[in-house]
Chain A
Amino acid sequence: MPENQNFNPEDGLPISKVRAGKVSKYKIEHYVAPLDETPLQAVDSIKETGKPLSMWAEAWRSLRKQPLFIISAILILAIIVVAAFPQLFSSQDPTYCALENSNEPGRAGHIMGFNLQGCDIYSRVIYGTRASLLVGIFTTLIVVIVGGALGALAGFYGGWLDAVLARLGDIFFALPLILGAIIVMQLPAFRDHRSVWTVIVTLAIFGWPQLARITRGAVIEARSADYVKASRALGLSKFNSLVKHVIPNSLAPIIVVATVNLGVYIVAEATLSFLGVGLPGEVMSWGNDISSAQRQLRTNPMMLMWPALFLSVTVLSFIMLGDAVRDALDPKARKGA
Chain B
Amino acid sequence: MTDTATPKPLLEIKDLAITFSTPDGPVHAVRDANFTVMPGETVAIVGESGSGKSTSALAAIGLLAGNGSVSSGQILFDGEDISHASEKRFVELRGNHIGMVPQDPMSNLNPVWKIGFQVKETLKANGLAGDNPKQRVAQILADAGLPNPEVRAGQYPHEFSGGMRQRALIAIGLACRPRLLIADEPTSALDVTVQQQILDHLDTMTSELGTAVLLITHDLGLAAERAEKVVVMYKGRVVEYGPALDILRNPQHPYTKRLISSAPSLSAQRGDTHEAIVDEIVPGKAEPLLKVSNLTKVYDIRKGFGKKEKFTAVDNVSFEIPKGTTTAVVGESGSGKSTIAQMVLNLLDKTEGEIVFDGEQIGNLSEKKLFKYRRRVQPIFQDPYGSLDPMYSIYRTIEEPLRIHGIGNTASRQKKVKELLEQVSMPASTMHRFPNELSGGQRQRIAIARALALQPEMIVCDEAVSALDVLVQAQVLELLDELQREMGLTYLFITHDLAVVRQIADNVCVMEHGKIVEQGTADEIFSAPKSEYTRNLLGAIPGASLI
User: Could you list which residues of chain A lie within 8 angstroms of chain B, going by C-beta atoms?
Assistant: 1-8, 10-13, 15-33, 35, 37-38, 40-41, 43-44, 46-48, 52-55, 58, 225-227, 229-236, 245, 248-249, 334-337
A181 to B433, CA, bound (A): 48
Contact in complex: B374, A48 (CB < 8 Å): no
Which residues in A have their C-beta under 8 angstroms from that of B433? 52
Contact in complex: B390, A48 (CB < 8 Å): no
CB contacts under 8 Å to A, within B156-171, are 161-164
CB proximity of A204 to chain B, nearest CB, Å: 28
Contact in complex: A20, B379 (CB < 8 Å): no
Given A19-B546, A52-B432, A54-B391; 19 other pairs, CB 8 A cutoff: A3-B163, A11-B197, A13-B197, A18-B545, A22-B42, A22-B226, A25-B2, A26-B38, A26-B41, A30-B252, A32-B239, A40-B254, A40-B258, A41-B235, A43-B472, A47-B437, A226-B386, A231-B389, A233-B377
Contact in complex: A4, B334 (CB < 8 Å): yes
User: Could you list which residues of chain B lie within 8 angstroms of chain A, going by C-beta atoms?
Assistant: 1-2, 7, 22, 32, 34, 38, 41-42, 145, 147, 161-164, 191, 193-194, 196-197, 200-201, 224-229, 234-235, 237-248, 252-255, 258, 332-334, 345, 347, 371, 374-375, 377-379, 381-383, 386-391, 393, 400-401, 404-405, 426-427, 429-430, 432-434, 436-439, 441-442, 447, 450, 454, 471-472, 475, 513, 536, 539-540, 545-546
CB proximity of A230 to chain B, nearest CB, Å: 5
Contact in complex: A4, B332 (CB < 8 Å): yes
CB proximity of B407 to chain A, nearest CB, Å: 11
CB proximity of A218 to chain B, nearest CB, Å: 13
Contact in complex: B447, A230 (CB < 8 Å): yes
Which residues in B have their C-beta under 8 angstroms from that of A231? 389, 400
Contact in complex: B442, A44 (CB < 8 Å): yes
Which residues in B have their C-beta under 8 angstroms from that of A6? 161
Can you pick out 24 interface pairs between chain A and chain B where the beta carbons lie within 8 Å of each other?
A1-B334, A4-B161, A4-B163, A5-B513, A11-B147, A19-B545, A19-B546, A20-B546, A27-B2, A28-B228, A28-B243, A30-B240, A41-B235, A44-B471, A44-B475, A46-B438, A48-B429, A48-B430, A52-B432, A52-B434, A53-B436, A227-B386, A233-B377, A235-B405
CB proximity of A300 to chain B, nearest CB, Å: 51
Which residues in A have their C-beta under 8 angstroms from that of B161? 3-4, 6-7
Contact in complex: A31, B379 (CB < 8 Å): no
Check A31/B447 contact, CB under 8 A, given A44-B472, A46-B430: no
Looking at chain A's contact residues, the main secondary structure is loop
A35 to B7, CA, bound (A): 31
A234 to B449, CA, bound (A): 13
Which residues in B have their C-beta under 8 angstroms from that of A11? 145, 147, 163, 197
A6 to B201, CA, bound (A): 18
Contact in complex: B546, A226 (CB < 8 Å): no
Contact in complex: B379, A16 (CB < 8 Å): no
A8 to B536, CA, bound (A): 12
Check A21/B391 contact, CB under 8 A, given A15-B197, A15-B536, A44-B439: no
Check A30/B246 contact, CB under 8 A, given A15-B197, A233-B347: yes
Which residues in B have their C-beta under 8 angstroms from that of A230? 379, 381, 387, 447, 450
Which residues in B have their C-beta under 8 angstroms from that of A18? 545
Chain A, Cβ-Cβ closest to B203: A22
Which residues in B have their C-beta under 8 angstroms from that of A337? 390, 436
A37 to B253, CA, bound (A): 12
Contact in complex: B389, A229 (CB < 8 Å): no
Which residues in B have their C-beta under 8 angstroms from that of A232? 347
